[in-house]
Structure 1
Amino acid sequence: MTVFPPPSRGPPPLDGPAHRSHQKVRISLRLLLLAALCLASCSASRAPEGINDPFEGMNRRFHAFNAGLDQKVVKPATSGMGGSKAAPGEGRGIGGTMLQGVGNFGANISLPGKVVNHLLQGKPEPAIKNTFRFLVNTTLGFGGVLDPAGKDFALPEQGTDFGETLAVWGVPEGPYLELPLVGPTTTRDGLGKVVDIAIDPMRQWLNRDQYLIGMATRVASKVSQRAQYGDAVDSVLHDSADSYTQTRLIYLQHRRHKLGQEEEAIDPYAD
């Protein structure tokens, strides 16, 4: 008679969905803590006011790449969808309307990450508004393709990111950067983009394929903005005498204004 060994009563397998989800959370929290410690360590030496661009040579090469990519790929792909005078979803044809819907969907799935950042900043009110916006658009807006929260419930998106969270925590701006495909940023905001991906709650709720589809729709959302503000983008990237200094100036002034950092106007040609 064959005697079978008793079943093992050891610990449960470590490759189940629950374990993988908990592992992702732990990794995200470690990245968050590492980013905060690394940047907070240099918070005592804030960057000088004005433009801090020690990597200008490298930045200009990446800017030339981004401008060329826009000229040869992005701009032709969005032509005919309406310029800066067209309201979202109007005057763009079927393709533009579809692109707007994809952009809405991408913006909608980014809301949980914005809720997390508002809470990390100690701002419960915008976190609550973004939560309700997400729930309304996900249910009544067919997963976020439509925007009833903004049109019918007066719940516009409360934008934020982890770069802003770091600024609230007192982390300095750091040098200006322009990265391939990403575009203008700073060392603080660039690291913030990485952490935003790591702490995004959608990473825990969706499988890999679903999450990649969601990321693709966020890219499409940016393309939709390129179509909406095409005239303004063209005037900066392709019509100005020095598109790099103009891009740098606009980004830094807009970012600092958004963070509530009042300062004197920057002369892009001062150096």
Structure 2
Amino acid sequence: MNHYFTAARVLRKILVFKPAIMFFFLLFLCSGNSLLRAQEPGSLSIRALQGTEGESSVMTTAGLAEEKDIIRHAKEKPADQNKDKVPAEPDIKAAPPDASDEYGDVTSEDLDIAPKTGKSSDEYGDVTSEDVTGAEEMEQAYDPIRPFNTAMYHFNDKVYFWAWKPVSTGYKYVVPEALRGIVANFYENVKAPVRIINNLLQGDVKNAGTEFASLLINSTIGVGGLRNCAEECFGIQRNYADFGQTLGKWGFGYGFYVVLPFLGPSNVRDGIGLLFDWPMRPTSYLGIEFFNEYNVGLFIHERVNDTSFHLGEYEALKDASVDPYLAMRDFYLQYRNSLIRKP
């Protein structure tokens, strides 16, 4: 009888899991070349030079050529109109370089080499080809569903101030910091299989072995993970890894930016990663359904416990930002990109 119950339980999990996987898989296919392959080193896309509103003011090659012709005609015009008089030809190179009013720091001397050096306009600062090459792996903000994301950002903002923050503040007041630290250690130990498997998928056997050793130490000497004895006693550091990061290291782009309700900033790649990482958490097998009141309740408690250590950080980010939505988006993409580029 137990065998039938177990089989039914697994089948039910698969049936619930399959629609979610299909949904993100369709997004995966529809998200364009940026998701199907990583950006080629040294390549510069139009999206990489766009501003926050999607408009680019970077000088194109055609624009440079046109301005070059204008300067050349202006240079030849005095000789055509005054053939009897032979004025001294102005020495453009000897004069101090005059900045173009339209394009900022692009001068007549720069026109012949501007397509190579990539002189920038004032709007984008001192962005040169060297800067682009040095940041060739930087994930650019591709936000095609910005109206939806903006609405979800404001929704999550209200949820934070009306729910997460009050609950986390009360939780912090009632539960001592030492006990909250024990709870955090337990949840991190439970998520060890996620880090072990993804480190293996990334080909990092050393980090996977370190995570496995940390799991054994914390689960035994650390009394079921309540104490991070691997770090405190042996100096073993955790090596963070998830499936979204694994896809990035495999060469998949992030698709596009998306803000998930309640969960916050994400993207198509990390959304797929979240679904694959969830079954690796032992707590996900509490109950029959893939998502149920037990594992979701533990996930919420983990978030509340974690938020209790970081109260005020979100408010500081908002206060320091002209546009909190853009600040949150750029911070998230840069953070995720740093994890992918980490050796």
TM-score w.r.t. structure 2 length?
0.58
Q: Give the Å deviation of 1:144.
A: 1.3
CA distances 1:244-270 after superposition (whole Å, capped 9, x unpaired): 111101101111112118xxxxxxxxx
Q: Paired residue for 1:208, among 264, 268, 287?
A: 287
CA shift in 2, pair 1:97/1:80, >3 Å: farther
Give the letter for the 2:4 counterpart.
Answer: D
Residues 102-113 of structure 1 aligned to structure 2 (within 5 Å): 102-113=183-194
* Pair 1:26–1:129, CA change in 2 (3 A): farther
Superposed, 1:1-271 pairs within 5 Å as 15=4, 17=6, 19=7, 39=28, 42=33, 43-44=36-37, 48-49=47-48, 50-79=140-169, 94-198=175-279, 200=280, 202=282, 206-208=285-287, 213=294, 216-237=297-318, 240-260=321-341
C-alpha distance in structure 1 between counterparts of 2:258 and 2:270, whole Å: 9
Per-residue deviation at 1:69? Answer: 0.9
For residue 20 of structure 1, report the CA deviation from its aligned partner: 6.1
CA separation in 2, counterparts of 1:30 and 1:121?
25
SS of equivalent to 2:259:
strand
What amino acid is aligned across from residue 255 of structure 2 in structure 1? G
Alignment deviations for residues 109-155 of structure 1 (CA, whole Å, 9 cap, x no partner): 11112211111111111111111111111112221122111211212
The answer to whether the Cα contact below 8 Å between 1:109 and 1:214 also exists between their aligned partners in 2 is no
CA–CA separation in structure 2 for the residues paired with 1:239 and 1:147 = 34
- Residue type matched to 2:311 in 1? G
Distance 1:149 1:212 in 2: 32
Corresponding letter in the other structure for 1:188: R
CA contact (8 A) 2:168 2:304 kept: yes
Question: Helix, strand or coil for the counterpart of 2:198?
Answer: helix
SS in 2 for 1:256: helix
Structure 1 residues 80, 156: closer, same or farther in 2, change over 3 A?
A: farther
Give secondary structure in 2 for the equivalent of 1:228.
Answer: coil
One-letter amino acid of the structure 1 residue matched with residue 287 of structure 2: R
**Cα separation, 2, equivalents of 1:169 and 1:38:** 18
Instruction: Compare relative contact order (CA 8 Å, sep 6+) and give the higher one, 1 or 2.
Output: 1
Asked if structure 2 preserves the Cα contact closer than 8 Å seen for 1:53 and 1:177, the reply is yes
Q: Distance in 2 between matches of 1:68 and 1:126?
A: 39
Give the SS at the match of 2:195: helix
- Cα contact 2:243–2:276 (8 A) shared by 1: yes
**CA distance, structure 2, for counterparts of residue 20 and residue 128 of structure 1:** 35
The letter of the residue matching 1:15 is Y
Q: Cα offset for 1:59?
A: 0.4
> Partners of 2:306 and 2:191 in 1: how far apart?
16
CA distance in 2, matches of 1:113, 1:64: 31
Q: C-alpha offsets along residues 91-115 of structure 1, whole Å, 9 cap, x if unaligned?
A: x774333332222211111111221
Cα deviation 1:21-58 (Å, max 9, x = unaligned): 88699889999x98789848951485954210001100
Q: Displacement, 1:169? A: 1.7
Larger radius of gyration: 2
3-state SS in 2 of match to 1:188: helix
CA distance, structure 2, for counterparts of residue 165 and residue 224 of structure 1: 27
Cα offset, 1:219, TM superposition: 3.6
Structure 1 residue 218 displacement after superposition: 4.2
- Number of aligned residues: 239
Look up the SS of the partner of 1:137 in the other structure: helix
* Residue segments in structure 2 that go unaligned for 5+ positions in a row: 40-44, 49-139
Deviation at 1:63, TM superposition (A): 0.6
